[in-house]
Every structure is written in structure tokens, then in C-alpha cells.
Amino acid sequence: MNAAEFRKRGKEMVDYVADYLEHIERRQVFPDIEPGYLRPLIPDSAPEEGEKYEEIIKDVERVIMPGVTHWHSPYFFAYFPTGSSYPAMLADMLCGAIGCIGFSWASSPACTELETVMLDWLGKMVGLPEQFLAGTKGEGGGVIQGTASEATLMALLAARTKVIRRLQAENGKLTESEIISRMVAYTSDQAHSSVERASLISGVRMKKIPSDEKFAARGHALKKALEEDKAEGLIPVFFCATLGTTNSCSFDNLMELGPICNAEKLWMHIDAAYAGSAFICPEFRYLMKGVEFADSFNFNPHKWLLVNFDCSAFWVKKRSDLIGAFKMDPVYLQYDQQESGLVTDYRHWQIPLGRRFRSLKLWFVFRIYGIKGLQTHIRKHVDLAREFLNHLSLDERFEVCAPVILGLVCFRLKGSNELNKILLQKINNAKKIHIVPCCLGSTFVLRFAVCASSVESSHIQFAWKHIEELASELLKTKSEEGCL
Amino acid sequence: MNAAEFRKRGKEMVDYVADYLEHIERRQVFPDIEPGYLRPLIPDSAPEEGEKYEEIIKDVERVIMPGVTHWHSPYFFAYFPTGSSYPAMLADMLCGAIGCIGFSWASSPACTELETVMLDWLGKMVGLPEQFLAGTKGEGGGVIQGTASEATLMALLAARTKVIRRLQAENGKLTESEIISRMVAYTSDQAHSSVERASLISGVRMKKIPSDEKFAARGHALKKALEEDKAEGLIPVFFCATLGTTNSCSFDNLMELGPICNAEKLWMHIDAAYAGSAFICPEFRYLMKGVEFADSFNFNPHKWLLVNFDCSAFWVKKRSDLIGAFKMDPVYLQYDQQESGLVTDYRHWQIPLGRRFRSLKLWFVFRIYGIKGLQTHIRKHVDLAREFLNHLSLDERFEVCAPVILGLVCFRLKGSNELNKILLQKINNAKKIHIVPCCLGSTFVLRFAVCASSVESSHIQFAWKHIEELASELLKTKSEEGCL
């Protein structure tokens, strides 16, 4: 395919993309297929000769679309939102064309430098303390990771290295594995599965401290765990706090946890994957009170800030902690300016070596929407969640299972877990909307997350009416069966 | 920005992308800027109000392009190639529009299923043994990772878990950290820095075995290390072989190493990041002889197979080894079909949770070019490297430092490392072409890698003439200074 054909096909694709998103409402949000549907639809090996583009684009509707879960449908209320916007897509096209691999400053200075400045912009937008910003003289700074999982892992690895170095400086005989075997990291029982996964990868055991009745981690619970573990000779190294848990969007109490972490020299990492975007609105910043105690902070603009996946923003107060954990300098990656102290080599800040020019997405989105436009987007979602909550609250057959603070509503029918599992199944089998469940303690709960950027009040009303009708049907059947 | 504006701006961007790539030759391959150039060019915080798109796109030429290292310039001969093609960019546009996060089958069945089938197609294209393919009944299969670094890490973590489970089954009293502290992994002294990094992350120590005079790892060197380590009570668990090293594109001897790994129950991972793409040409498959001994295999279509970054293809013979290492199943990620045995949940195969619909790029590229078109691309690059080698060989001031097998030529001026460092500096300061160095043993070497898909014989001739002239200048100065 040459440039001339790309000009033609690219413009057709722009229209296809616009058509897809403009009319996504007409597509069934969850697909009607069974596992293994795709393989029989296409040949079992690649063609020897090139095919015509027309054949491929025809197959997008024949092969791909029937199996897509439409995350940007206004009837999608599952998981958490994933960002999507036209300016982010335009930036991604440019990113693809430049196609640089920005592992070092020299491998593409613009890629590195725009990222540093965009992370400063974003840090200011959410009200991060200045220590997290790079500026021109700061010791901190931000980086784009692929996902929050990687950010948590990087933070834990940095904490691990820091403690190993400190203890080996005190006692040169201690081996790395002796130290790691005594290390312990903490998080709440509401933390995302990726936090536990970071522990498995790093080999640092992780203990879950019990959350309170609002599903928040509290200081006394951490303190208790620390005292028990220190008495047993363990070395506490890390605490991962969550702002906006996946289960119920609860918030750990940083004002209690932070001072403990600082006093006990635990690295405090904050995972605000979903909720972080809301902090661009001053009225939600009370939820991050205590962020100044943290060593690292992360949230996903690719969730709720209209930036297409992947773009997870991660800041540290001392970038030397992060870089020190993994610096490797093979000759093939060295260049003249690298020891000048003026450059950033982001390869030391992340698990992979290669990286795309992802900061373009932030730049385009921030400038097209402005801070006000992004605030409008966040506030609209929060308002829509409250609208759903209002419907719920007026129907006494339902109960709300956790405080509704941002765009997530956790609810259930009063009654057994079994009953709610059946309700979920009915909702997802009808495929008019899509939601997923969670467990809060031993309670099976339905999660209603406001997701698509195109979702409006009419969709919330539709969703509520649909859920309410399915619940009525279910309760009627159950009552006829004498099961209630 | 609404759909109508996106239609307009998207089409303009398509033309911008086509213009950029059609005329990339006119841009200086390496930028004329100093560290810190970008920050003063833009405001120090995000705008409150949205800006006009015209302002942003104007800034691409003012702010971004002056700081870009143009990886797709035909004068770029640094590192290794990174893939780029129009069909891959079209697929990425579609990927952005669908914007699904394919961590599980249910989160977007098409995303998972196309990936499994594309990795089967690709496995067949490079001649992988059938055990690595998923098919409909296989125990193996492929997955797209972001980078080769992540593939190596996943393989090492799977090996680590497998050995821990085996040893704990034999002796229930052994703790995980006791076992890890005795584990040892191996790679050659020519392996990529990411292999050592995987060892740092996983906590499994890594030993580098010396390569032979052709920079290949050999059986006897591994055997020697294994015997010494076993005698000391260590537990060998993993060997990472390289096909096509970053330094010199050397190839480890799988036929010697493989049987040793199998006999000693070492997980053998093959990192063929760059060279793997060449195996679509039957004439290069002799280089992967012995792949059948491996447990996992990885290469980067995003390097040399015209697929835009990121797309690193990773196969395992037993997917249960990989999945077993990290399976976590929070309720919010569960769905009806997951225990049917028919579905793949790729979140268990990788470090991050989220993932893009990257297999679309493979599908578009394989179909537009066909296997023959891709073979033509590989062969052209290999021929161009030979052309450069021919020039070199006729100039007795230069020496070739490693066998030239694919698209990389390692060379230097006969003389000191210092002399060659100055030559490199002259080349990169002139900014007419861009290359990077490496060290082979203690010898400082220049690497000339055929990279851009648009590179032609004329560019190779230009590059050679330019290098040769700078060398003449340098040798003349040195001889006048009496330094030679």
C-alpha cells in the first residue's frame, strides 16, 4: 500500500470510525456469539499473495464486529470507563506516523520532553503537591505507564531496592534474598487484584489489612498489622493505598495512613486509577487529602479523562528512587548528552524498554477540551450516577451497598446472593445493557458504572427501567415458585 | 470535537501522515536541539478553555517536529528497525475506535479470538513447531506482549513458579524465598539488557555464560556453569537464548543448548526480537534450528515485519505454565463462560491487566502484503546490508567485526577504540545519517542497521560515501597530528 492508497483508505477509515461512534447506540452492547466463533470465519493461515483492501474492510463487519463488546456504547455500564475521544485518536494517528521508540532522550527528544511537561500539566490539574512535579529543578516527576498494574509494580520494586540498599549498607553480610524473604507489603482487602499480582512478581509478600464498614483502609488496622509483623521480625516496606476502589469506589483514609507510612519508612503508593481524573474538579479534591504523605501516585487518564488506552500517569517524589532500581546502560543505548543531568531516559522508569509517543494524546486532549471541558465531562458522569441512585432510592426492593461518590453505584435486590446472581444473569442475557458484579465482604453486588462519553440521562432512565422490569419479572417468578 | 469535525480533521491528519512519510527524506534524521528545548516553547500549564484545532496542528511543526528523531527516515540506521506501514496504521485507527480493553474473553471476544488465530498464522509463517500453536486442541498458543522485555519476564516468572511448585510438592517445608534464593537463570554475555532486568525484577539471580568467537552461546559453556552451580547447591531454572543479538545479530547454538536445557529441566526461552521476522523466509530458518527444544519463543513483528509498535509475539508450548503463574480471579472480572475451557483470558498471560486490540494490525498487514510481500521486505533489507558490507570490504581501512547474516553490519576503522568513538561522533554530529555503537568484548564497534521500509540502494550508497569521507577526514587530521 502506497501513500496515495493510504490517503484514500485512511479517509474512508476516518468516516468508518466516525460512523461507528456516531451510531454505536444501534449496535447490541454485548455480542451474540459463543467461544470459538471467529476461527471458522477466516482461513487457517495467512495468504501467500496480498489481498485487496476492500476484502479486509468488508471482513471487519463480517468477522470482527459480531464479536465486539462495545465499550463506548451508552448502554455499557461495566467495569470502569475507558477513555475515548476524537482528539486522542487524531494524536494516536500522529503517534503512529512518527513511530519513534522513545526509550531514551536521544531516541526521540520530543517524545521524552513533551511527556515530562504533560505530566507536569496533569499533576497541576489534579492538584498534586509540587514535589511530584519535574519542573526544571525538581527531584520528582511523572511518566506514562501502560497500566496502573505496571505503576504499582514499579513502585513496589523501587521500594524493595531502596530497603535492600539501606539494610545492606548497615550490614554488608545480608543477602538480597534474606532481606526480601523478611519484607512485607500491605494493601487493603479492597485493593485491585493487580496489587497482589505485583507482590507475586516481586516476591515481596503482601498482607491485606481489613477495611472498615465503608470499605476504606484505616490507620489503626495498618498499625496493628505493622506491630504484629515487626514483632515477628518482618520488615515492612510498602503500603498501596487506593483512592476509588474497583469494587465500590471507596477511598482509603490517607490522613491516618500517610503519617504512619512516613514514620515507619514505608513507601506509600497511591493507586487512584479511576478516581484520579475527578481531582481535576476542585470539589472532589477532599478525597485525596493526605496525598502529600505519598511517595508515588498513579491514575489512568485512559479511564476517565477522554484519553484512549493506554495512558497511565505515574508520579514519584524522588525520581532517583525509581531510576536507581533498574538502571542498565548497554553501549548501544548510550549517547553524548546522557550524563549531562539535563535529560530523562524513561526506559529506567518502566518495565518495558520501548515506548510510544503517548504524550501527544494528552496534549491534544488537554488543549481541545481545556480544563473546563474535562471538568464538564467528569461532572456529567457524577450527575448521571446520582440520577441512577435517585431511581434506586425510590424503589424499596433495592438497596444501595456503598456510598455513591463519583460515577459508580453498587446496588442489589434486598435478598440473597443467589437472587442477585440471577438478576445479573437476566440483565446480561438480555444484552440491552452490560454490567458486572463484585463482592463486598460476602455480599454479591451489582456495579453500575457510568462509562461512555456519549451516555445521557435518557440512557440512565432506560437502564433503570430495564433493570427494574427484569427485577419485577424475577421477583414475580420467585414469588410464584414460593421461593421468597 | 464532534464527529463532523473529526471527519474533517481526521482526513487532514491522514494527509499530514502521508505527507510526513512521503517526504521524510527531506527532514534531518536527528534533531538540532539541546536537552530542555521543549518546555520554553509551550505554556507551563494546561489551558482553562479549549483551543482551536488549528492552533494545535500548527504547533506540531513548531514544537514537536524539531525534536523528533525520524526513525522512518531512510537515513536512520540506528538500533534496530521499528515497523511501520500504512495498513498497520489503518488497523490502529480501527483499534482506537473500538477502544475495547481485552483483558478477558468477555470484555471483547473478537479481540481475544483474532489474537489467538493471528498468532497461529504467524507461528506457521515462521515455521514454529505445532506444539506452540493453539489450534483448537493444542496446549500451546501465542499472545501479543508489548515488548520482548515483557515476554522474557513472563517466561522467567513462569519458570520460577513451576520450579517452586515442584520443589514444594517434594518438600512441603521449603519456603518460596528459600527456593528463589537458590535459583539461578542463565543467558549469554551478548543477551539484551532486558534479560538481566528480568532477573532483577524476579529476584532470580542471572549468570552470563561467555559467548564464543562468533558471539554465540555454546553448549559446553552452559554445561560448565550448570555443573559448578549445581555443585554449590544452586537450582538452575531458566536459560534465555538469543537469535539475533542486539550487539551483532549473532545466533546462539540451539542444537547444543536445547538438549542440555531439556535434560536439566531448565525452561528454555528464545528471544528472537529482531531476527524472528526473517524466519518467514525459508532460507533463514536454518538459524532457528533447535527451536523445538524451547519452552517459549518470542519475536517482535513491530521490529521488522511492518507492524507498528507495540506488537511482540510470544508463544509457549504449555499455556498452563504461564497462566498458572499468576491467575487471579476477582469477581468483577468473572463471567459465565470462563470455566468452559473454551475461552482464553489473556490477562493471565501478561504483566498488565488492560490490553488493546493489537491483532488487527497483524491481520491487516498479513492480508495486504501476503507472505510473499513480507518476504520481499525482509530480503530487500538483507540485500542492502550486503551491499553496505561490499563497500566496506573493498576499503582496507575498515574491518568487519561480526558475521553479516541479516540486516546488521558491525564495523570499525582499523585502529583504537578512541579513533572509532571520534568517527561515530563525527557521523552523528553531521546528522546526515544516524547510527549507534556497541561493544564486542572490549572493542568499540559501529552498528549499521538497515531500518526504514523506504530505504533503497541509493541511501546505502550515500551512507557509505558519507562515512568513508568522514573517515578520510579523520584519518587525515590524525595523521597530520602525528597520532596514528
Q: Does A93 touch chain B (CB under 8 A)?
A: yes
**Out of A341-350, A367-376, B366-375, least confident range:** A341-350
Q: Does B443 touch chain A (CB under 8 A)?
A: no
Is a pLDDT exceeding 70 seen at residue B334?
yes
Q: Does A234 touch chain B (CB under 8 A)?
A: no
pLDDT band per the 50, 70, 90 thresholds, residue B337: confident
Chain B residues whose beta carbon lies within 8 Å of the beta carbon of residue A428: 336
Locate A58 and state its grid cell: 468488508
Chain B residues whose beta carbon lies within 8 Å of the beta carbon of residue A451: none
* Contact in structure between A437 and B331 (CB atoms under 8 Å): yes
Average pLDDT over residues B351-374: 97
Residue A58 buriedness (CB in 10 A; 0-12 / 13-18 / 19+): exposed
Q: Residues of chain B with pLDDT > 90: what percent?
A: 92
Minimal-distance CA residue of chain A relative to B329: A193
Query: B156: closest CA among B201, B218, B111?
Result: B201
Tell if the CB–CB gap between B1 and A86 is shorter than 8 Å. yes
Chain A residues whose beta carbon lies within 8 Å of the beta carbon of residue B336: 425, 428
Chain B residues whose beta carbon lies within 8 Å of the beta carbon of residue A249: none
Alpha helices in A41-84 (DSSP H): 53-59
Q: Does A462 touch chain B (CB under 8 A)?
A: no
Task: Name which of A13, A68, A351 is nearest B110 (Cβ-Cβ).
Answer: A68
pLDDT tens digits for A62-110? Answer: 999 999 999 999 999 999 999 999 999 999 999 999 999 999 999 999 9
Average pLDDT over residues A46-60: 97
pLDDT band per the 50, 70, 90 thresholds, residue A484: low
- Cα–Cα distance, B345 to B328 (Å, whole number): 11
Tell if the CB–CB gap between B331 and A181 is shorter than 8 Å. no
Q: Does A255 touch chain B (CB under 8 A)?
A: no
Average pLDDT over residues B405-416: 98
Helix (H, G, I), strand (E, B) or coil at A240: strand
Tell if the CB–CB gap between A17 and B10 is shorter than 8 Å. yes
Q: Residues of chain B with pLDDT > 70: what percent?
A: 99
Task: Name which of A89, A101, A310 is nearest B309 (Cβ-Cβ).
Answer: A101
Question: Contacts for B427-432 with beta carbons within 8 Å, 24 or more apart?
Answer: B427/B466, B427/B467, B427/B470, B428/A336, B428/B30, B430/B466, B430/B470, B431/B28, B431/B29, B431/B30, B431/B32, B432/B29, B432/B75, B432/B462, B432/B466
Res B295: pLDDT? 98
Minimal-distance CA residue of chain A relative to B16: A94
Minimal-distance CA residue of chain A relative to B90: A10
Query: What is the nearest CA distance from B329 to chain A, expressed in angstroms?
Result: 8
Taking one residue from A and the other from B, the number of pairs with CB-CB distance under 8 angstroms is 463
H/E stretch holding A213 reads none
Q: Does A149 touch chain B (CB under 8 A)?
A: yes
pLDDT tens digits for A379-397? Answer: 999 999 999 999 999 999 9
- Cα–Cα distance, A82 to A306 (Å, whole number): 8
- Tell me the ipTM for this assembly: 0.96
Alpha helices in B398-450 (DSSP H): 417-430
pLDDT tens digits for A396-409? Answer: 999 999 999 999 99
Which of A20, A147, A356 to mutate to probe the B interface, most B CBs <10 Å? A147
Query: What is the nearest CA distance from B97 to chain A, expressed in angstroms?
Result: 6
- Cα–Cα distance, B404 to B385 (Å, whole number): 8
Res B342: pLDDT? 74
Could you tell me which residue, B481 or B219, shows the higher pLDDT?
B219
Task: Name which of B63, B193, B356 is nearest A310 (Cβ-Cβ).
Answer: B356
Amino acid residing at A460: I
Residues 6+ apart with CB under 8 A from B416: none
* Contact in structure between A448 and A427 (CB atoms under 8 Å): no
Chain A residues whose beta carbon lies within 8 Å of the beta carbon of residue B125: 45-46
Q: What is the DSSP letter of B145?
A: E
* Contact in structure between A201 and B199 (CB atoms under 8 Å): no
Q: Does B359 touch chain A (CB under 8 A)?
A: no
Query: A184: closest CA among A242, A233, A150?
Result: A233
Chain A residues whose beta carbon lies within 8 Å of the beta carbon of residue B194: 353
Minimal-distance CA residue of chain A relative to B440: A331
Tell if the CB–CB gap between A94 and B328 is shorter than 8 Å. no
- Mean pLDDT for chain A overall: 96
Query: B132: closest CA among B146, B122, B142?
Result: B142
H/E stretch holding A256 reads helix A254-263
Q: Does A327 touch chain B (CB under 8 A)?
A: no
* Contact in structure between B360 and B95 (CB atoms under 8 Å): yes
- Distance set, CA B404 to CA A72, B80, B281, B382, B401 (Å): 49, 14, 17, 9, 9
Amino acid residing at B291: V
Alpha helices in B171-266 (DSSP H): 176-182, 193-202, 219-231, 254-263
* Contact in structure between B71 and B451 (CB atoms under 8 Å): yes
- What is the Cα gyration radius of chain A? 24
Cα-to-chain-centroid distance, residue B378: 15
Q: Does A360 touch chain B (CB under 8 A)?
A: yes
What's the half-sphere exposure (Cβ side, CA atoms, 13 Å) at A348?
21
Query: Would you tell me which residues 334-353 of chain B have a C-beta closer than 8 angstroms to some C-beta of chain A?
Result: 334-337, 340, 342-343, 351-353
Task: Name which of B20, B337, B437 is nearest A331 (Cβ-Cβ).
Answer: B437
Res B333: pLDDT? 75
* Contact in structure between B171 and A300 (CB atoms under 8 Å): no
Chain A residues whose beta carbon lies within 8 Å of the beta carbon of residue B428: 336
Backbone angles phi, psi at A222, to 5 degrees: -65, -45
Q: Residues of chain A with pLDDT > 90: what percent?
A: 92
- What is the Cα gyration radius of chain B? 24
Chain B residues whose beta carbon lies within 8 Å of the beta carbon of residue A116: 39
Res B484: pLDDT? 55
Res B419: pLDDT? 97
pLDDT band per the 50, 70, 90 thresholds, residue A483: low
Res A324: pLDDT? 79
Minimal-distance CA residue of chain A relative to B443: A331
Is a pLDDT exceeding 70 seen at residue B481?
yes
Res B340: pLDDT? 67
Res B364: pLDDT? 98
Tell if the CB–CB gap between A106 and B69 is shorter than 8 Å. yes
Neighbours of B256 (CB within 10 A): 18
Beta bridge partners of residue B142, listed in sequence order = B315
Res B343: pLDDT? 83
- Distance set, CA A145 to CA A407, B328, B358 (Å): 24, 22, 17
Is a pLDDT exceeding 70 seen at residue B188?
yes
Is a pLDDT exceeding 90 seen at residue A338?
no
Task: Name which of B47, B194, B326 is nearest A353 (Cβ-Cβ).
Answer: B194
Q: Does B235 touch chain A (CB under 8 A)?
A: no
Q: Does B38 touch chain A (CB under 8 A)?
A: yes
Helix (H, G, I), strand (E, B) or coil at A254: helix
- Mean pLDDT for chain B overall: 96
Across A157-286, where does the E strand assignment appear? 183-188, 205-209, 235-242, 267-271
Q: Does A441 touch chain B (CB under 8 A)?
A: no
Task: Name which of A1, A10, A113 is nearest B368 (Cβ-Cβ).
Answer: A1
Query: A315: closest CA among A126, A142, A97?
Result: A142
Res B336: pLDDT? 78
- Distance set, CA A210 to CA A107, A190, A266, A378 (Å): 46, 8, 18, 30
Q: Does A372 touch chain B (CB under 8 A)?
A: yes
Cα-to-chain-centroid distance, residue A92: 19
Is a pLDDT exceeding 80 seen at residue A482?
no
Query: What is the nearest CA distance from B400 to chain A, expressed in angstroms?
Result: 17
Query: Would you tell me which residues 46-75 of chain B have a C-beta closer than 8 angstroms to some C-beta of chain A?
Result: 46-51, 53, 55-56, 60, 63-72
Minimal-distance CA residue of chain A relative to B38: A113
Q: Does B370 touch chain A (CB under 8 A)?
A: yes
Q: Does A7 touch chain B (CB under 8 A)?
A: yes
Q: Does A110 touch chain B (CB under 8 A)?
A: yes
Is a pLDDT exceeding 70 seen at residue A345?
yes
Which of A15, A17, A63 to mutate to probe the B interface, most B CBs <10 Å? A17
Query: What is the nearest CA distance from B413 to chain A, expressed in angstroms?
Result: 18
Across A156-258, where does the E strand assignment appear? 183-188, 205-209, 235-242
Tell if the CB–CB gap between B201 and A60 is shorter than 8 Å. no
Tell if the CB–CB gap between B88 and A96 is shorter than 8 Å. yes
